[in-house]
Amino acid sequence: LNAAPRRPPRQQIRFLPTPAPGGGGAVELVPTRVPVLADHPLVRGPRFKRLKVGAGHRLDVKSSGVFVLGVGHGNKLLTDLYNCHMTKVYTVGGRFGKATEDFSDTGKLVEKTTFDHITREKLERILAVIQGTNHKALLMYSNIDMKTQEAYELAVKGLIRPMEKSPPIITGVRCLQFALPEFQLEIHCLHETQQYLRKVVHEIGLELKSSAVCTRVRRTRDGVFTLDDALPRTQWDLRSIQDAIRNCRLRVETELERTLG
Amino acid sequence: MAAALGAVGRARPLLRRALSGAARPPSTHELREAEEAAPVFQYAGKAARRKDRVFVWGFSHSGALGVPSFVKPDAGWKKPRRIQPTPYRLETEEKISSVACGYGFTLLASDTTDITKVWGMGLNKDSQLGFQRSRRDQTKGYEYVLEPSPIPLPLEKPQQTRILQVSCGRAHSLILTDSEGVFTMGNNSFGQCGRKVIEDEIYSESHLIHQLKEFDSRVVQVVCGQDHSLFRTKKGAVYACGWGADGQTGLGHYNTTSVPTKLHGDIAGVNIIQVSSYGDCCLAVSDEGDVFGWGNSEYLQLASVTETTQVNVPRHLPFKIGKIKEAACGGTGNVVLTEEGNVFVWGYGILGKGPNLIETAVPEMIPPSLFGWSDFNPDIHVAHVRCGLSQFAALTNRGELFVWGKNLRGCLGTGRMEDQYFPWRVTVPGEVVDVACGVDHMVSMVKSFI
C-alpha cells in the first residue's frame, strides 16, 4: 500500500531572491512555485503505518462463510450497517440420531435415538410452525402499535422488522436437502448467533421425537454482501481487496440510504 | 546412606499404590467407543400415528371451555380463571369429529358407534345440552355444566347411527345424524327447535328432545342462527324455522315459523352446497360459486342488492370476485373464500383491513401476505373461513389459524386482550384442522405434528 503513488506534494508560492538580470549585487524578489519541504517523502515517512480494521457481525470459530470487515473510514459504515438490521442467510447442515451437549457433532454425547420415522413432509411441517411463531415474534418486537393503520400497511408489505435489539428471530426457513440421517436447511434470520442456530437444529430434532446435531453452519449472505463478493484465503491481497471494496460501495450506499434515510 | 536410600525405595511402591495416575481426558478413540456403546432410544416408531386433540380458549366462567378447575379451582387458595387467553388442551375420551360453539356453551360430537356420541358443556339454562341430572339432587338438573358431559339422545339404533355434525345457536342446539334425521333441543320460544311453540313453556331442566325427519331428502348440514335454524338437504334445498322478524328465515314473511319450511326466492332450483349463519343474517353458496343472502342487513351485509335493512327472501349477491367456495356469516360482518384461496370481507365492525376500514357494502380482499404468503412460501392459501359473533377465523392449507376481530373476553386466543385489526396467527401446538367460533370462546380440532 505504501508503494502506491502518493499525492503530489503541496506547492507554495514564495518570493525567492534571485540575482537581478541587470547585474551587480542587486537582489530581486521573484515569485516562484516551490514544493513545501514538509511534504517531502523523506520528511513525512511512509503514508500508512497502521490500518484500522473493524469486524461486522460475529462469526464463531466453528462456522464459516461471509464475514464483513471495515477498513479505515469504512469502520464508520459498520455501525450504520448494523443499525439497518438486515437479514442474514445461513446454510445449516444437521444430522439426526444424536444429541450432544453443545448441539454440534463434536460435543459430548447426551443421547442416541432412532430416526427412521422422519420424513421430509414431517420436517417441513415443523419448519412451517417455526416460521409462523417467528413471524409473530417479528411483529411483536418491532414495537409498533398494532392498532394503527400504519402497522396494518407495513404488515401487508412485509416490512415490519425490529429496528432495535431483539432476541434472535428467524424470518424464513427452507429445507434444501433431505437424505436420512443428514439434512440441510437455509435459514434467514435477524439478531442471531451461530450457537442459536445449532440450538434450533437440536430443537427440530426434539420436535420430531428424535434428536439432531448441527454439522455445519455457513453464512451465505450478510445484508448486501454475498458469497460472490467474499474473498477466499488465496485472494487476501491489496488488489483484490481494493476491487471488492469498489464493487460493494454502490450497493452499501444505496442500502444505507434506503433504510436510514 | 545406602540403607536410607533403600528405605525410601521401599516406601515408594506404597505411595504409588495409593496415588493412581491423575485422570486424563478421554482420547478420541475412547470417546468413539463410548458413543458406539451408548444405547439408542426410540420415541416414535415408523407406524406412529398423529394424535387428534382439542384446544379451547376464551371466556371460561360459564363452563363453556369444559375445564372445571377454571371455574371451581381444586385447591382453596387458587383463584378461578375467568378467561383463558391462549389455547388450552382439553382431554377428551374419544376422537372428536365435530365441534360447535353457542352463546356460552359448547357441543362436542364424535362419529363413533358407541352409545355416548355427544358431549356438552357450559350454559344449560334452556336445556340446550339436554337434561343433565344433578348428582346432589336426582330430581333436578344442572344449570351450568363444567365438564364435557354426555348428552343422552333418543336414538332408535344407538349402536349404528353416527353423528355427522352439531350446531349451536343462542339457546338451542341441533344434532345431525346420518340415518335418524335431526335432533333439536333447547329454547323453542320462536320455534327454532322445529316444534310448535307452547306458551309459557319452561325450558330449563326439560327432558324434551325433538326429532325432525320430514325433509325432501337427507339433511347434510345444519346451521343455527341466533334464534333460528337452517337445514340444507342433499338435493341442494334449504329449510328454515325459528324467529323471522329480521327475515332470517327467508320465507317471505317476518313471522316466526315452528316447522321447517323450504326456502324459495333466488335459490329455488339452485343446488346449494353450503349454508352459514350465526347472528341474524344468512348466506348460502351454490355449486356454481354464487352467493345468496337474506336476513338482517342493518350492517350493510346485503346493501349491494337492496337499501332495506331486512330481507326476507333469498337474494343473489352479484359480486365479481371469482367463484366462491365457502361463506361464513357473523353478527355484523361476513366473509367469503374464493376458489383461488382469497378472503373477502364486508359488513360492519373490525373487518381485518386495519382500523380504518369499519364498514363496507362491497367485499374487500384481505392481502394474502397477511396469511403468510410471501416469495419464500408462494403456495400458502386459505382453506377455510369461520365466523363468530364479532370475530373471524381463517385456516390455511398449512394448518395455521389466523384470527381477527373484536377480542371479547379473550376469545381470539392471541394472549392479549386488545382487539385485532388484521389477521394474527394463533400459536397452537399442532396442525389446526377445524375451528368453531362462539361469542366469547373458540374451540379447535388439532392434529399433532408427528
| Model confidence pLDDT, tens digit, residues A160-170 | 788 888 899 99
A 10 A CB-CB count for A206 gives 14
SS3 B297: coil
φ, ψ for residue B89 (rounded to 5)? -75, 135
**Identity of the residue in B31, B44, B425 whose CB atom sits nearest the CB atom of A136:** B425
Q: Is A81 exposed, middle or buried (0-12, 13-18, 19+ CB in 10 A)?
A: buried
ipTM above 0.95 for this complex: no
Separation CA B272–CA B251 (nearest Å): 16
Alpha helices in B341-403 (DSSP H): none
Closest CA to B229 of B128, B306, B94, B325: B128
Lookup: cell for B64 = 363453556
Helix A194-207 vs helix A120-141: crossing angle, to nearest 10: 130
Give the torsion sign (CA, B24, B25, B31, B34).
positive
Q: Hey, what amino acid is at A209?
A: K
pLDDT in tens, chain B (450 residues): 444 444 444 445 445 555 666 778 878 888 888 888 888 999 888 888 889 999 999 999 999 999 999 999 988 899 999 999 999 999 998 999 999 999 999 999 999 999 999 999 999 999 999 998 888 888 888 889 999 999 999 999 999 999 999 999 999 999 999 999 999 999 999 999 999 999 988 998 889 999 999 888 999 999 999 999 999 999 999 999 999 998 999 888 899 999 999 999 888 889 999 999 999 999 999 999 999 999 999 998 898 888 888 998 999 999 888 999 999 999 999 999 999 999 999 999 999 998 998 999 999 999 998 888 887 788 889 999 999 999 999 999 989 999 999 999 999 998 889 899 999 989 888 999 999 999 999 999 999 988
Phi, psi of A98 (to 5 degrees): -135, 150
**A117 Cβ under 8 Å from any chain B Cβ:** yes
Map residue A244 onto helix, strand or coil. Answer: helix
How far is the C-alpha of A43 from the C-alpha of B121, rounded, in Å?
Answer: 94
Cell of B360: 363496507
Distance CA B269, CA A193 (A): 64
Instruction: Identify which of A158, A161, A169, A109 has the alpha carbon closest to the alpha carbon of residue A133.
Output: A169
Euclidean distance between CA atoms A98 and A241, whole angstroms: 42
**Beta strands at A109-113 and B40-41: parallel, antiparallel or unpaired:** parallel
**Which DSSP state fits B117?**
-
Task: Yes or no: say if B329 and B348 are a contact pair by the CB < 8 Å rule.
Answer: no
Q: Chain B residues with CB inside 8 Å of A174's CB?
A: 376
According to DSSP, the residues that pair with B334 across neighbouring strands are B329, B346
CB atoms within 10 A of CB B334: 32
**Is B37 part of the contact surface with chain A (CB cutoff 8 Å)?**
no
Q: Kindly report the number of other CB atoms within 10 A of residue B94's CB atom.
A: 15
Alpha carbon distance B292, B302 (integer Å): 9
Angle (nearest 5°) at CA B170 between B315 and B113: 95
B166 contacts: CB under 8 Å, gap ≥ 6: B98, B99, B100, B107, B108, B109, B118, B173, B174, B175, B176, B222
Pairing relationship of beta strands A182-190 and A212-222 according to DSSP bridges? unpaired
Q: Do A210 and B43 touch (CB under 8 A)?
A: yes
Provide the annotated active-site residues of A. 60
Our measurement of the distance from residue A158's CA atom to the centroid of its chain's CA atoms, rounded to an integer in Å, reads 22
Give the pLDDT confidence score for residue B20 in this predicted structure. Answer: 65
Q: Helical H runs in chain A? A: 41-44, 74-84, 120-141, 149-157, 194-207, 238-260
Q: How far apart are CA B367 and CA B352, in angstroms?
A: 10
Amino acid at the residue B68: P
- B450 in contact with A, Cβ within 8 Å: yes
The three-state secondary structure class of B54 is: strand
B45–A136: do the CB atoms touch at under 8 Å? no
What is the reported pLDDT for A141? 86
B447 at the A interface (CB within 8 A)? no
Q: Which residues of B touch A152 (CB under 8 A)?
A: 353-355, 421-422
Q: Are strands B118-123 and B105-109 parallel, antiparallel or unpaired?
A: antiparallel
All residues at 6 or more sequence positions from A252 whose CB lies less than 8 Å from its CB, including other chains: A77, A81, A224
Tell me the pLDDT tens digit for each residue of A4-41.
Answer: 778 787 888 888 777 767 666 677 778 888 888 888 88
Query: Which residues of A fall within a CB distance of 8 Å from B44?
Result: 117, 208-210
Q: Amino acid identity, residue A51?
A: L
Instruction: Give me the domains of chain A, ranges plus CATH numbers.
Output: 1-50 (no CATH), 53-260 (3.30.2350.10)
Q: Cis ω on the peptide bond leading into residue B39 (within 30° of 0)?
A: no
Question: What confidence score (pLDDT) does residue A214 get?
Answer: 93
Which residues of chain B lie closer than 8 angstroms to A111, CB-CB?
A: 38, 41
Phi first, then psi, for residue B430 (nearest 5°) are 160, 180
Residues in chain A closer than 8 A to B425 (CB atoms) = 132-133, 135-136
Q: Which of residues 126-165 of A touch B (CB under 8 A)?
A: 126, 128-129, 131-133, 135-136, 139, 146-149, 151-153, 155-158
pLDDT band at A93 (very low <50, low <70, confident <90, very high): very high
The phi, psi pair for A120, rounded to 5°, reads -65, -35
Question: A148-180 burial, b if ≥16 CB within 10 A, otherwise e?
Answer: eeebbbbbbebebbbeeebebbbbbbeeeeeee
pLDDT of B2 reads: 46
CB contact under 8 Å between A132 and B399, yes or no, is no
Across the range A202-224, mean pLDDT stands at: 92
What stretches of B91-141 show up as alpha helix (H) in DSSP?
A: none
CA dihedral A29, A33, A37, A42 (to 10 degrees): -140
**What burial class does residue B69 get, using C-beta atoms within 10 Å of its C-beta: 0-12 exposed, 13-18 middle, 19+ buried?**
middle
